[in-house]
Structure 1
Amino acid sequence: MSDIIQADQLRLFIERIERLEEEKKGISDDIRDVYSESKGQGYDTKIMRAIVRLRRMEKNDRDEMDALLETYRDALGLA
């Protein structure tokens, strides 16, 4: 009996994962559409993606990255 219950439980987990994967694909498609729309309005999507990535970061991490980037630019004469 426990084998049957475990098989049913496993099937339910798999089905949940499949539904979530489908939702994730839909959300990814929606995000791609927003980037396409913004590109059509003249925005640089590469920069927008960088801004989204920066906004996800904690302020301390962002400050540390900025400091390192400035140090590397100075070392390479890009300042």
Structure 2
Amino acid sequence: MSDGNVSADQLRLFIERIERLEEEKKGIADDVKDVYAEAKANGYDTKTMRSIVRLRKMEKNARDEMDALLETYRNALGIS
């Protein structure tokens, strides 16, 4: 490949792998959507659940920094 030649077979395999992974990703996204729909049907607030999922992905120090900044902004705006 250093001389500009492209292996058509290798390229096709890469493209096919990407396409399969994209399809799997779509399937997983649909599954996640179904779980949120089920939670909503059971009375849970999905917007809050999404926030919790996002917070759980964050490292503790990043979450603490975000909380402190949010508190600072809330205080500045008089929001208790």
Normalising by the smaller structure, the TM-score range is: over 0.9
- Please report the RMSD computed on the Cα atoms of aligned residues, expressed in angstroms: 1.0
Q: Which runs of 4+ in 1 moved over 6 A?
A: none
Equivalent positions of 1:18-29 (< 5 A) are 18-29=19-30
TM-score (norm 1): 0.94
Runs of 5+ unmatched residues, structure 2: none
TM-score (norm 2): 0.92
CA distance in 2, matches of 1:50, 1:6: 45
Equivalent positions of 1:1-79 (< 5 A) are 3=5, 6-79=7-80
The answer to which structure has the higher helix fraction is 1
Question: What is the aligned residue count?
Answer: 76
Runs of 5+ unmatched residues, structure 1: none
